[in-house]
Amino acid sequence: MLPTSLRTNTCGELRISDINKIVTLCGWVQKTRKLGGATFIDLRDRYGITQLIFSGEDGNSEILNQEGFSRETVLKVTGLVIERESKNKNLPTGDIEIKLQNVEILNNSITPPFTIEDETDGGDELRMKYRYLDLRRNVVRKNLELRHRIAIETRNYLDKQQFLEVETPVLIKSTPEGARDFVVPSRMNPNQFYALPQSPQTFKQLLMVSGFDRYYQIVKCFRDEDLRADRQPEFTQIDCEMSFVEQEDILQTFEGLIKHLFKTVKGLDIASIPRMSYADAMKYYGNDKPDTRFEMKLIDFNSTTKGKSFKVFDDAETVIAICAKGASEYTRKQLDELTEWVKRPQIGATGLVYARFNIDGTLKSSVDKFYNEEELKKWAEICNAEKGDLILVLAGAEDKTRKAASELRLEMGNRLGLRDKNIFSCLWVIDFPLLEWNEGDPNLLASLAGRWHAKHHPFTSPKPEDIELLNTNPGAVRANAYDIVVNGVEIGGGSIRIHNKDLQAKMFDVLGFSKDDAQKQFGFLMNAFEFGAPPHGGIALGFDRLCSLFGGADSIRDFIAFPKNNSGRDVMIDAPSEISEEQLKELNINIITKK
Amino acid sequence: MLPTSLRTNTCGELRISDINKIVTLCGWVQKTRKLGGATFIDLRDRYGITQLIFSGEDGNSEILNQEGFSRETVLKVTGLVIERESKNKNLPTGDIEIKLQNVEILNNSITPPFTIEDETDGGDELRMKYRYLDLRRNVVRKNLELRHRIAIETRNYLDKQQFLEVETPVLIKSTPEGARDFVVPSRMNPNQFYALPQSPQTFKQLLMVSGFDRYYQIVKCFRDEDLRADRQPEFTQIDCEMSFVEQEDILQTFEGLIKHLFKTVKGLDIASIPRMSYADAMKYYGNDKPDTRFEMKLIDFNSTTKGKSFKVFDDAETVIAICAKGASEYTRKQLDELTEWVKRPQIGATGLVYARFNIDGTLKSSVDKFYNEEELKKWAEICNAEKGDLILVLAGAEDKTRKAASELRLEMGNRLGLRDKNIFSCLWVIDFPLLEWNEGDPNLLASLAGRWHAKHHPFTSPKPEDIELLNTNPGAVRANAYDIVVNGVEIGGGSIRIHNKDLQAKMFDVLGFSKDDAQKQFGFLMNAFEFGAPPHGGIALGFDRLCSLFGGADSIRDFIAFPKNNSGRDVMIDAPSEISEEQLKELNINIITKK
């Protein structure tokens, strides 16, 4: 890096070839130690660590004799680059050290509330309160450097594909038919509110109507949800839209992006990304975002198990098995514990039946009373089980059991070490249903319950061959919609959009909008479709999630510089907070006094 | 561009070398005309225009015989690339045309409310309401393509300088000591509000405390101002911060950025950017963002003119002249009109005195009664006036007259053609005052009137040699602050920041914060300074303004895809708008009924 007024070099760049240079570095004291008559200081900056050495006999550095330096003191040091006697092969600068001639304290530090090390003693809450210190830790900073790199490579790829980056507005109109909107009272337009975008969806579609042809943006979006673990009220999307395309073009283009990112950021070659219908994903994985790093598919056990007088299976709406390879030697204790695990309320199964295909070829189940070895052989056959495998069976109501089986599959994947964070398995899930019935989703306004709800969003086009079903069986209509899933995590999704005014109006009708409401909220888009809207479609990728996936982490929080906690609070700056009466009055709003 | 399912090529890419290819294009009908037995269609997309030709005798295109195509119809056409008989040298595709074999209407268009041409018949309001059609016009789209390009080149430069792009939060805390905040009620934290950032100032400083060393972001910021012409409630900044630097490093680094942008985007080599103190800018230009494309400096005329019995000058706090080169032949009518111009309330002068230095060497003024030719010669001498020049003199109260002289200078610059949009003159203005007295700025909360107000912001460091003055004469304290000015437009500004807790606390004290308020609003930053904050500083460039400057336009609005009007409204989507009672109730707020 080019020198600045305060330093000639960074703490990461000096090498053996720099020996005999006089250099000036700035950085933080990582640690100090005395050895014989010499003092060693590790000086740290973003770029690395350089060892400083000072022996008592040297001249003009009284400061070093007078005091030690506490950790995190900011120093400006000048000295001679010399070769190290005992080199440190783990450090890029490990061949050299700086023989100090002068030291200046640029700023002092009181003792940090936790250690600034990769393995810190700071708990989550403390780290968030002092996030600016947490960000000093290499592991956290590296996450954000990774994020920076992924952003650059995303732009490189999309720029080359002639996507134009266009900024869409943040102060828009409330259309709370998706999740809840964050709103912003307007001082200049009393009684009126802006909303923060849940996504730039309508704007990117308008850009297609404008002939922008290919649009992208790495953009903040906002959703006022009851925060589940690892959700943030503000999050970042790679948001894209293309004109004159069909689904296949979008899958190809963004498969290209995913491959480019894996290649340039992780050095990995990703094979062609397979595709699976939503129906198959639900059938074989019980889940619309299957983790395909491992098989262990869900197996329909109804015809295999019913009619053998085992009431639990006979009375169940469905019976589903999975076959855990090489787990036949699970102990009774392990199996009991697994049974407790599936009975947890989050999983919701009522019990667990198992059958061991022992190494010696015998078969043994927890329901031997009802199924003899001959029957169990059939089980094994249908499961493609081999000696050493363990068959696990769940039964109950269809949806609940399928979900529980999916969870059990993932859990067994974990326990059997099949979910290696360094293996990446990508999948397109396609042919999603257009609609789902809203029984009363707590993340939606209560007034939207008991209606059809758009599975992706109201602008997703139904498959042309299914349009007729909108009148007769809306739940059966499939959409031109797709998700990209990596290792069981939905990284993004998109669709071919409606570009016809009448079809869009029909869609709002199915979603329970009055003509008036549809016109009021989305009239501008439907009107735009009358002026020559091109066929178009797009995708949005969850950028925070993508970064955490690339970083091999489960949580997105450490890939966001200043995240909020599960109550939507920034505990560092203490936001949200109360505002003054003067501000409220100017905005023409009152707080309803709390009961 | 790579083909998609719907097209093999764009409307901008076919050349003579493509002759005899069968191609499929998609686009909008720009115009249709019949000539002899043939029909010609100009088909338009983002990439260009391609001429389509169809002669009645050809086979399978009945659709073309049956109907014409109204403008803006979306077509998918297939045909043979042939050489044009009469080539169009103004069009990159002008050597070829497509002999149509098949046409498919992808979407119809009703008649647009204005013509989709560079020179449109649509007024401002109509264009904003149908912004998606306005964006179809080449001139508008090219503005946004320019913006895209400037963003890419900004990132290229900063990435190379090892700046890390870090996203800072949008939902933060209200600290309305600058302009007014937009606020966002929190549903999860009743009675509390987030604020939208006026800039990521405190966060980027915290990133420096974190050792991020170099940060940048192209980021949306928000200010709830009474909108003046050409201000937007949401705007975009190139926001940067660096550690271990002094002012000189920042000026060098961002002079580098400005040069890089002029070179890569405009193909212009910009010379080293001169620097001028705030004091000199006010003295010579009456303005802290002087347009240095031309001289015509303000000249102190006090000693020259006073004491000659001309009461207007004698009684004035100040007398200021400018010398308009080559304007001596301005007619009486022109001068009268100019006098009316300076007397407009926006300019605020009480009158205008002039003196002509005629081509024949004679001197003639509007105040000959008080100043003889000998005196006028002195005027000319002090103004460095030559034969053919016109001296214009204003007198009155210091601030008002200086401001009026500045306006007059710019106006004369316009009239004399000295402000060519294709000439770029850059300038650093440095040594700004740290504070200014707030008499009651309508863009600040009323409660802040009658206090010192930070000229840049409360985090700007005073010059070390002026710190003592904070106690005795705050208005005289100079800041380590700088603005970059191009052609009289402030493109950005920044400062070296305070990185010491005590000095920051002192600063809040001077600004009239109680200790408690300072701690409540900015405690997190002052606390952070205790843990080893490095010396740091930065800059923010107004991205919308930079784009409009590069585009040679006066208004930023056409460089924003979806701008708001002067009432902060998006007239296309009709935002802001009312929200439902259900939403208000969930947010625990009421609207105060309007009187």
Q: What is the pLDDT of residues A532-588, one digit of tens each?
A: 999 999 999 999 999 999 999 989 999 999 999 989 999 999 999 999 999 999 999
| A·B CB contacts under 8 A | 391
Q: What residues in A contact B583, CB-CB < 8 Å?
A: 174, 176, 180-181, 183, 445
pLDDT tens figures, A133-171: 999 999 999 999 999 999 999 999 999 999 999 999 999
A533: distance to nearest CA of chain B, Å?
6
Other CB atoms within 10 A of residue A323 CB: 24
pLDDT of residue A595: 41
Tokens 């209200």 — which residue? Answer: B174
- Which of the four pLDDT bands, split at 50, 70 and 90, describes residue A448? confident
The dihedral sign for the CA sequence B433, B437, B441, B443 = positive
Nearest to B574 by CA among B195, B129, B239, B251: B129
CB-CB under 8 Å, B193 with A579: yes
pLDDT tens figures, B425-438: 999 999 999 999 88
Length of chain A as a residue count? 595
Distance from C-alpha of B481 to C-alpha of B278, rounded to nearest angstrom: 10
A207: distance to nearest CA of chain B, Å?
7
pLDDT of residue A254: 98
Q: Choosing among B29, B234, B244, B527, which should be mutated to test the A contact, i.e. which has the most A CBs within 10 A?
A: B244
Residue A573: which of B28, B172, B579 has the nearest Cβ? B172
> To 10 degrees, what angle do helices B332-342 and B398-415 make?
140
pLDDT tens figures, A262-296: 999 999 999 899 999 999 999 999 999 999 999 99
- Residue of higher predicted confidence among B69 and A464: A464
pLDDT of residue B441: 81
pLDDT tens figures, B66-114: 567 899 999 999 999 999 999 999 999 999 999 999 999 999 999 999 9
Region B133-150: mean pLDDT is 97
| A43 and A124 Cβ atoms separated by less than 8 Å | no
If you write DSSP's letter for every residue of B334-376 in order, what string do you get?
A: HHHHHHHHHTSTTT--S--EEEEE-TTS-EEETTTTT--HHHH
Distance from C-alpha of B583 to C-alpha of A517, rounded to nearest angstrom: 16
Among A62-76, A332-346, B203-217, B359-373, the least confident range:
A62-76
The answer to whether residue A108 scores a pLDDT higher than 80 is yes
- Which of the four pLDDT bands, split at 50, 70 and 90, describes residue B226? confident
CB-CB under 8 Å, A141 with B211: yes
Distance from C-alpha of B49 to C-alpha of B97, rounded to nearest angstrom: 10
Query: How many Å from the N-terminal Cα to the C-terminal Cα in chain A?
Result: 59
Region A217-225: mean pLDDT is 95
- Residue of higher predicted confidence among B451 and A509: A509
pLDDT of residue B361: 94
CB-CB under 8 Å, A4 with B174: no
Tokens 């100032």 — which residue? Answer: B201
Q: What residues in B contact A182, CB-CB < 8 Å?
A: 171, 184, 194
- Which of the four pLDDT bands, split at 50, 70 and 90, describes residue B59? low
CB-CB under 8 Å, A46 with B224: no
Q: Choosing among B142, B152, B254, B577, which should be mutated to test the A contact, i.e. which has the most A CBs within 10 A?
A: B577
Distance from C-alpha of B405 to C-alpha of B317, rounded to nearest angstrom: 14
- Which of the four pLDDT bands, split at 50, 70 and 90, describes residue B55? confident
Among A150-154, A228-232, B322-326, the least confident range:
A228-232
Distance from C-alpha of B526 to C-alpha of B532, rounded to nearest angstrom: 11
Amino acid at B258: I
Structure tokens at B516: 């408690």
Question: Helix, strand or coil for residue A525?
Answer: helix
A184: closest chain B residue by CA? B184
Q: Is A340 exposed, middle or buried (0-12, 13-18, 19+ CB in 10 A)?
A: exposed
Residue B203: which of A4, A173, A562 has the nearest Cβ? A562
User: Is the complex ipTM higher than 0.90?
Assistant: yes
Q: Choosing among A106, A140, A188, which should be mutated to test the B contact, i.e. which has the most B CBs within 10 A?
A: A188
CB-CB under 8 Å, B568 with A196: no
Region A529-533: mean pLDDT is 97
pLDDT of residue B595: 41
Give how far Cα A500 sits from Cα of A424, A497, A506, B134, Å. 39, 9, 10, 20
pLDDT of residue B1: 81
Average pLDDT of chain A is 94
Length of chain B as a residue count? 595
A512: distance to nearest CA of chain B, Å?
17
Among A302-311, A484-493, B175-184, B185-194, the least confident range:
B175-184
Nearest to B538 by CA among B481, B490, B486: B481
- Residue of higher predicted confidence among A229 and B156: B156
Structure tokens at B221: 């910021």
- Long-range contacts formed by B342-348: CB under 8 A, 24+ apart: B342/B394, B342/B404, B342/B407, B342/B408, B346/B407, B347/B404, B347/B407, B347/B408, B348/B400, B348/B403, B348/B404
